[in-house]
Structure formats: C-alpha cells, structure tokens
Amino acid sequence: MIDAEVLMTRRQLDDATVDVEVFGVWVPRRGDNLRCTVEVVAAYGAELTVELLQKGMDQVGDGAPFSPTTTLVFSGVGRQTAEWSGLMEVVRFRLSLARSDTLSEGLRGWVVFRFQEPVWFESVRS
C-alpha cells in the first residue's frame, strides 16, 4: 500500500489556474538533525517544491526557511532525500505546486507524492 497524497493547482472562477502553497503542521524536533525522503509517484504539468521551515517555540508566524540549498524540487517522478542539521525547536514543511507553462489554459497540474518516515538523530560531540 502506498500512503500518498494528491496536490493540484487551483482553478479560479475565470477558469485560470493558479499555483498552490500548502503548509504542514508544526512538529517539535525529536533530535538535532532530520533526514527526510520525499517521493513523487506521478505528476502531470506541475513542479513540486518541498521546503523545511523552522522557528523557536516563542516565535510567531510562518517560520523561516532552513536553507535554500536543501530545498527539494521535482519536475517529474522520482525520489529525493535531504538532511537538515542544527534545527530549531519546531519544524514544518511548505509544499509549493507550480503549474507548468506548457499546459493548455484551464488545465490543472497535479502531483501524487508521499513522505517516507523521517529519521531524527543527535549530533555527535567530542
């Protein structure tokens, strides 16, 4: 069984399609570091970007991106793994789905994706 989710671009009242941005829930960190794998199982006319956001427990707002160098970008099917070190107190993912310019007007782009079980681990200090 594949536990996957579908994410689609939106269609507005004038039939124009627009990009979508979805935020995950805030999760308390379970270690200094996080290793996560994301897999796009199927895709049509869209590019998926997965970004890790973080913040301290006393901070408000959407959080700050961890680093642009560990952003995962999918323009088709495939699997990517990223590792983030030295995380703040809470983290969450931001998923952005951008519609491809090659799609005909009115068509929606979509992806079917899943997150593998994340791995949390501590840094080794000597």
- Domains along the chain? 5-117 (2.60.120)
Tell me, yes or no, if the pTM score tops 0.95: no
* Contact present, 112 and 4 (Cβ < 8 Å): yes
* Contact present, 66 and 52 (Cβ < 8 Å): yes
CB contact set of 7 (below 8 Å; sequence gap of 6+):
20, 22, 48, 95, 97, 110, 111, 113
For every one of its 126 residues, what pLDDT tens digit does the chain have, with 9 covering 90 and above? 468 899 998 776 665 667 899 999 999 999 999 999 999 999 999 999 999 999 999 998 888 888 777 789 999 999 999 999 989 999 999 999 998 888 887 788 899 999 999 999 998 876
Residue 15 exposure: Cα atoms within 13 Å on the Cβ side: 4
What span, in angstroms and rounded, lies between the C-alpha atoms of 86 and 79? 24
* Contact present, 73 and 49 (Cβ < 8 Å): yes
Q: Measured at the alpha carbon of residue 95, what is the angle toward residues 78 and 90, in degrees to the nearest 5?
A: 115
